Amino acid sequence: VGFQLEFWDRQKNEFVPEWLRSNQIPSAVRFSLGFATGSRGPAEIVTRTVRLPDSGVGADLQGGTAPPGGGAPQ
């Protein structure tokens, strides 16, 4: 069994294996799932692409400032 995620990068115009932009979401995600069929025959691979909404992430969901003391336990 295998599982793979790829993310659509608008700047590169291709799917990339890692999403590094924490303040953005990709416009699409491609899921691939592989299933072994036993010792004979090739594995079956199912791939689907899902488009995500293009709206921005609101400021209220982006985190905010750290509490006094940096959030360290007291």
Every domain of the chain and the residues it spans: 2-54
The one-letter code for the residue type at 22 is S
pLDDT band at 19 (very low <50, low <70, confident <90, very high): very high
The one-letter code for the residue type at 6 is E
pLDDT of the residue at 32: 95
pLDDT band at 12 (very low <50, low <70, confident <90, very high): very high
pLDDT band at 47 (very low <50, low <70, confident <90, very high): very high
pTM of the prediction?
0.64
Of 24 and 6, more confident: 6
> Which are the contacts of 29, defined by CB distance < 8 A and separation ≥ 6?
5, 6, 7, 8, 49, 50, 52
Where is 5: in which H helix or E strand? strand 2-9
Please identify, in words, the CATH class of the domain defined by 2-54. Answer: mainly beta
